């Protein structure tokens, strides 16, 4: 016989169920009893809400929400940057795109961290949330929403979801015991822990094998979610939808966990042990498990439970198109999260993009080791565009990446200053030609759309320019940001070589004879180099919004000619005059000037 069911029926059960977001006492009432209320999608947002009249679903990308028990580190910045690049990319394609980030403010470790800081939980969380907001601003993250799980609208929606699960008899009360990690906010089975000697203290402790965090044996009465009932559905999901987790490595790990079997999930904690959280409806002795609370943020920030107008969920943006997470929270997002959504009859996210961690000197970053990289200092030292480029260029999906100031400087010198910046300087600051005049003459003498001189070097350059945007765009669409950057910067280096070997300065002041109807060699060389710069500037906008805009301004590219569709050879005949007039000389005219400090 199964565990006892603690089901509670709502009033007006025969009607469609909904929850009144404006009821002061928060009664559970039927949809037909609700008068027209404020659209909850407009609550707790950091930007303007999506227009209700829009027919198409916006592209929706999320970061994980970050614990406020400690200051942000470079790993948090990495997740934010990846999500922002993806959002900006879809904007560049002409799509409506929205991004949500934010903070998780509930749970045992927040309660303990605030007590250790000598603060009540709420002001402690307020301070932490503000720091993460500042990081998003410093990193130029274009988030439309900033989640705070202490928001009343989130609390109400989580309690609503609890009632839905309870009414479906997917929640029951039972005794639970096992190894509990406060840091990970989860129980681990006996097979998932091991005894070690803690290096700093020399004491023997039990830790999670998966995360290395200390665990303690805990016995308590709490509510459980029938997670085991969803094992077969989840296995079928990943067998038939490989693209949901693009990384085969992490997809295989999840499938292995599912094949090993699923236990039911403890989804509450006794309030006398954990008071800082969302109370279980009608049972103040229990607090809702932080991960059930936290995972629902991706829907509650968009207004879940949506008003029953038939299309509110789609208009708001659900389901998510891409959810960015670190590899340490795959179980929560790839097993618990889809199970919750299936149980709530909500669509599943289309893709969950798992990424590796950042290490320092090949060691995991840790507060206790004092090797955590402060993202504010890094942005201040190297600049926001450089940091965004470095994280996207060196970060890895399949494995951890090692953070290094040396590598940042190396990337700056080779790829940006010596590559893209050098090419821009050689073309735009050249005194022996006028870029706009070369572009005009090229199009005037070559109306048949880029019929080149026939030289093998020119043909090779043109072939690269025709293929690069298409291949880079495909890589971006497939979330292979590193591959996209490699394609662009391989093109940068190829164009620098093309310029060097073509030596346009040798054709000045007089061009050698050329066949009628073809471009003069000088015009052809300058046009091909400048047009490559234009396309590269367009494609780099999601990664380096500031520097890409500066490059396009220097090239004189119109603001309305900077979308992905314009990243084609010869698609713009009107560029060539700097938006600021003459391209300034000296360091003011350099796209990537020397770093102030290279230590």
Segment 72-123, tens digit of pLDDT: 999 999 999 999 999 999 999 999 999 999 999 998 889 989 999 999 999 9
Residue 112 and residue 24: Cα distance in Å, rounded?
31
3-state secondary structure of 567: coil
pLDDT at 29: 36
pLDDT digits (tens, 9 = 90+) for 430-486: 878 899 999 998 888 865 545 555 678 999 999 999 999 999 999 999 999 999 999
Q: What is the mean pLDDT of the chain?
A: 85
Domains of the chain: 22-355 (3.40.50.620), 405-589 (1.10.730.10)
Q: How many C-beta neighbours within 10 Å does residue 127 have?
A: 13
Mean pLDDT, residues 485-500 taken together: 97
Q: Which of 370, 400, 369 is nearest to 75 (CA)?
A: 400
Q: Pairing relation of β-strands 186-188 and 145-148? A: unpaired
Residue 12 and residue 243: Cα distance in Å, rounded?
41
Core vs surface per residue 276-299: b (16+ CB within 10 A) or e: bbbbbbeeeebbbbbbbbbbbbbb
Task: Establish how many alpha carbons lie within 13 A of residue 468's alpha carbon, considering only the half-sphere containing its beta carbon.
Answer: 30
pLDDT at 315: 93
Residue 80 and residue 133: Cα distance in Å, rounded?
11
**Higher pLDDT pick, 356 / 584:** 356
Q: How confident is the model at residue 378 (pLDDT cuts 50, 70, 90)?
A: very high
pLDDT digits (tens, 9 = 90+) for 236-279: 999 999 999 999 999 999 999 999 999 999 999 999 989 999 99
407: enclosing H helix or E strand: helix 405-411
Query: Which class for 411: exposed (0-12), middle (13-18), buried (19 or more C-beta within 10 A)?
Result: buried
Which residues are CB-contacts of 219 (< 8 A; sequence separation ≥ 6)?
Answer: 175, 176, 177
Q: Which of 291, 37, 85, 277 is nearest to 186 (CA)?
A: 291
Residue 522 and residue 64: Cα distance in Å, rounded?
52
Which of 84-93, 170-179, 366-375 has the highest mean predicted lDDT (pLDDT)?
Answer: 84-93
Report how far apart, in Å, the C-alpha atoms of 363 and of each of 169, 211, 309, 511 are: 45, 14, 52, 59
Q: How many C-beta neighbours within 10 Å does residue 406 have?
A: 9
Residue with tokens 């391989």, as numbered in its chain: 490
Q: What is the pTM of this model?
A: 0.85
Mean pLDDT, residues 20-44 taken together: 33
Query: 500 in the Ramachandran plot: left (φ > 0), alpha (ψ -120 to 50) or beta?
Result: alpha
Terminal CA-CA length for the chain: 68
Task: Establish how many alpha carbons lie within 13 A of residue 389's alpha carbon, considering only the half-sphere containing its beta carbon.
Answer: 30
Identify the DSSP state of 222.
E
pLDDT at 137: 98
pLDDT at 33: 33
With pLDDT > 70 as the criterion, what percentage of the chain qualifies? 81
Residue 348 and residue 298: Cα distance in Å, rounded?
11
């Amino acid at each position: 016989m199964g565990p006892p069911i603690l089901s509670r029926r709502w009033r007006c059960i025969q009607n469609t169920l909904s929850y009144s977001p404006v009821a002061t006492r928060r009664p559970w009432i039927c949809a037909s009893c609700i008068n027209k209320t404020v659209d909850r999608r407009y609550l707790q947002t950091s930007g303007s809400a999506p227009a209700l009249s829009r027919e198409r679903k916006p592209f929706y990308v999320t970061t994980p929400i970050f614990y406020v028990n400690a200051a942000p580190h470079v790993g948090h910045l990495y997740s934010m940057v990846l999500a922002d690049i993806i959002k900006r990319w879809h904007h560049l394609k002409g799509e409506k795109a929205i991004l949500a980030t934010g903070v998780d403010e509930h749970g045992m470790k927040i309660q303990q961290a605030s007590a250790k800081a000598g603060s009540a939980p709420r002001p402690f969380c307020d301070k932490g949330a503000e720091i993460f907001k500042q990081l998003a601003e410093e990193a130029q993250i274009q988030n439309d929403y900033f989640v705070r799980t202490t928001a009343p609208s989130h609390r109400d929606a989580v309690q609503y979801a609890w009632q839905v699960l309870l009414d479906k008899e997917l929640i029951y009360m039972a005794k639970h015991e096992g190894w509990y990690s406060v840091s990970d906010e989860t129980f681990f089975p006996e097979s998932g822990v091991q005894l070690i000697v803690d290096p700093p203290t020399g004491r023997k402790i039990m830790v999670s094998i998966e995360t290395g965090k200390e665990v303690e044996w805990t016995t308590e009465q709490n509510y459980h979610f029938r997670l085991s009932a969803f094992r077969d559905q989840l296995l079928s999901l990943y067998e038939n939808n490989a693209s949901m987790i693009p990384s085969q490595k992490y997809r295989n790990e999840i499938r292995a966990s599912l094949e090993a079997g699923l236990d039911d999930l403890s989804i509450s904690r006794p309030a006398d042990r954990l008071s800082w959280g969302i109370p279980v409806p009608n049972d103040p002795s229990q607090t809702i498990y932080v991960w059930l609370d936290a995972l629902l943020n991706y829907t509650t920030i968009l207004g879940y439970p949506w008003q029953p107008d038939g299309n509110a969920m789609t208009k708001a943006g659900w389901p998510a198109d891409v959810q960015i997470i670190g590899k340490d929270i795959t179980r929560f997002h790839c097993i618990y999260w889809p199970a919750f959504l299936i149980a709530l009859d909500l669509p599943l996210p289309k893709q969950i993009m798992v990424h590796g961690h950042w290490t320092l000197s090949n060691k995991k970053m840790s507060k206790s080791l004092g090797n955590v990289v402060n993202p504010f200092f890094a942005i201040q030292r190297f600049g926001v565009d450089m940091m965004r480029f470095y994280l996207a260029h060196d970060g890895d999906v399949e494995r951890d990446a090692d953070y290094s100031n040396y590598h940042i400087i190396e990337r700056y010198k080779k790829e940006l200053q010596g590559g893209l910046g050098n090419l821009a300087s050689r073309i735009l600051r050249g005194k022996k030609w006028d870029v706009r005049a070369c572009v005009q003459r090229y199009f005037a003498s070559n109306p048949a759309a880029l019929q080149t001189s026939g030289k093998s070097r020119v043909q090779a350059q043109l072939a690269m320019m025709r293929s690069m945007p298409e291949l880079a765009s495909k890589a971006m669409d497939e979330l292979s940001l590193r591959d996209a950057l490699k394609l662009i910067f391989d093109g940068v280096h190829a164009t620098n070589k093309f310029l060097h070997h073509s030596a346009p300065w040798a054709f000045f002041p007089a061009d050698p004879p050329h066949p009628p109807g073809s471009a003069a060699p000088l015009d052809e060389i300058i046009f091909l180099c400048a047009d490559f710069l234009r396309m590269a500037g367009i494609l780099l906008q999601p990664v380096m919004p500031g520097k890409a805009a500066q490059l396009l301004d220097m090239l004189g590219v119109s603001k309305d000619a900077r979308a992905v569709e314009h990243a084609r050879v010869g698609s713009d005949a009107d560029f060539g005059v700097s938006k600021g007039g003459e391209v300034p000389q000296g360091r003011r005219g350099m796209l990537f000037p020397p770093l102030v400090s290279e230590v």
